[in-house]
Amino acid sequence: MNATALPLPAPRRDSLGARAVRQFRRDRTGMVALAVVLGYLAAAAGVWFGWWATDWGALTGTKWEPASAAHWFGTNIIGQDIFARAIYSTSVAFEVGLVVALAATALGAALGAAAGYFAGSWLDEVLLWFMGVLEAIPFYLFVAAVAFALQDSPWAMQVGMIATFWIGTARLVRGEVMKLRGIEYVEAARAIGLPSPVIIARHVLPNTTHILLVQASIAFVGAIKTEVILSFLGIGIRDGVSWGLMIEESTKEVLAGFYNNFLAASLLMFGLVMAFNTFADALQDALDPRKVG
């Protein structure tokens, strides 16, 4: 008597996103880096909600007090609490980083997709020429010039960074879209008469998400480092405090043998940049189709 063969269950097929998440969770270094970044984000969120560091400008002590229970990082030259200023600067770093990363990535995605989809056309040639012109200008010189020209605007520094950070994203997206535009489902959408903007938005750009996520994380770190440099030079943050302003302030204090201001700003900035760079590397590995399994 022959036994009836039972059908084998079909293998489970995870989406690329689910496999990327599983791959990322296997990366212990990436997970630790993500936890550190979330810790910084929690500190920034506390400032945004008014839970702490709202009195960063208050004179709560005397000149150059050492670290104590009342002032964890001591006080600066006029008696302001360095810890409160450092935590408030964390929120400023996230604000600048998020604004620049989101805007630059969105702009780069839109222009890069248009250039790639219409590769070889006049639009592609104009965009490539424009990107080449911007890349020919030294980065910090261009950003500083834009920030100085728009110094009456509170968004001057962000505009300067967005005007340059989008280029790298646009070039990568352009190359990816040039490959995607020949895929069957894109040709089918074109054949049934869908407008090009609809095809790009619905069928092309969603398949560049892995590039956009990595580029946004890179732009986030670049924006923070650029803000520190510009604020140190006096053309960055003006109405408030940031790590760059704290380091600029510490140049006078270090000569007098007081290092708390410099160490607080430098170490917090180093921690965030290092953690986010590590997180970005792990994210890039997780989203790499050759490594996702």
Q: What is the CATH number of the domain that holds 98?
A: 1.10.3720.10
Domain presence at residue 260: yes
| Of the candidates 105, 162, 167, the residue with the CA atom closest to the CA atom of residue 136 | 167
CB 94 within 8 A of CB 43: no
pLDDT value of residue 284: 85
Query: Is 65 contained in some domain?
Result: no
- Does some domain include residue 97? yes
Closest C-alpha among 94, 114, 99 to residue 208: 114
pLDDT of res. 8: 46
**CA–CA dist 262, 240 (Å, integer):** 17
Number of domains within the chain:
1
Whether 74 and 82 have beta carbons less than 8 Å apart is answered as yes
Query: Helix, strand or coil for residue 239?
Result: coil
Instruction: Say if 3 falls within a structural domain.
Output: no
Q: What is the crossing angle of helices 28-48 and 16-26, to 10°?
A: 100
Helix axes 260-287, 16-26, angle to 10 degrees: 130
Q: Is residue 26 a part of any domain in this protein?
A: no
Contact (CB, 8 A) for 144 and 86: no
Task: State how far the Cα of 28 lies from the Cα of 251, in Å rounded to an integer.
Answer: 38
User: Domain residues for 130?
Assistant: 90-287
Structure tokens at 251: 């140049």
Tokens of 48: 């945004």
Asked, for residue 15, whether it belongs to a domain, the answer is: no
Kindly give, in sequence order, each residue whose CB lies less than 8 Å from that of residue 131, ignoring residues fewer than 6 positions away.
167, 170, 171
In a domain, 101, yes or no: yes
Q: What is the pLDDT of residue 235?
A: 82
The pLDDT of residue 80: 93
**Low-confidence spans in the chain with pLDDT less than 70:** 1-16, 289-293
39 vs 72, 90, 123, 235, CA distance in Å? Answer: 18, 11, 44, 29
pLDDT of 172: 94
For the record, the structure tokens of 219 come out as 């732009």
The span from the CA of 164 to the CA of 200, in Å, is 23
Q: In this structure, are residues 160 and 154 in contact, taking their beta carbons and an 8 Å threshold?
A: no
Query: Is residue 150 in a domain?
Result: yes
48/46 Cα distance (integer angstroms): 5
